[in-house]
Amino acid sequence: MAKFNPNMLVPAEKQGNTSNARSAKEVLVANIDKQKHLFNNPEDDGKPTFKVDGDNVLFTLRVSNTALVLGQYEQDGVKADVREMQVPKAHFVEALDFLKDKVVAGEMDSQLAALDEKKQARVAKLRATRAAGKDKAKA
């Protein structure tokens, strides 16, 4: 390998609009895959969104720190959203695959669209704040 030369330091090319690079759906699919990996490799780094409780696993599916609604139940005439599910430990990976298939098929698109809109609003607000700060600094 050649010896370091300061001429090797060159400006990195601007990568474009990376804050909007992935949709909420893409993030969720990647998170599901990551949870399967963490379940099978608990020694690896990462934040699990599941908890092993005896022979069962309790879990949520999250995007941008928001737990998605995975189902609904009704008790005494009152409907409630379910954000945390439980499955036998032996079937956890299969359950994640089942839910991933539902995501890919578009069954959670309404929730994911709302998260995408929330992200777009946050990005726009941050850009406006930064632009205002730059304008103020120039004045």
- Parallel/antiparallel/unpaired status of strands 85-88 and 66-67: unpaired
Give the pLDDT score at 15.
46
Distances (CA, A) of 58 to 15, 23, 95, 98: 39, 26, 11, 16
- How much is the mean pLDDT over the chain? 88
Residue 23 has φ and ψ, to the nearest 5°, of -80, 165
Is 96 exposed, middle or buried, given 0-12, 13-18 or 19+ CB atoms closer than 10 A?
buried
Mean pLDDT of 109-134: 89
pLDDT of 14 over the 70 cut? no
| Residue 61: per-residue pLDDT | 95
Q: How confident is the model at residue 133 (pLDDT cuts 50, 70, 90)?
A: confident
> Residue 135 has what pLDDT?
77
Asked if pLDDT for residue 9 goes beyond 50, the answer is yes
Report pTM.
0.73
- pLDDT digits over 70-111, tens only? 998 888 889 999 999 999 999 999 999 999 999 999 999 999
pLDDT category at 62 given cuts 50, 70, 90 is very high
Give the residue-averaged pLDDT of 32-49.
94
3-class DSSP state for residue 71?
A: strand
* Cα dihedral 75, 81, 83, 87 in deg (nearest 10): 40
- Per-residue confidence band for 13, with pLDDT thresholds at 50, 70 and 90: low
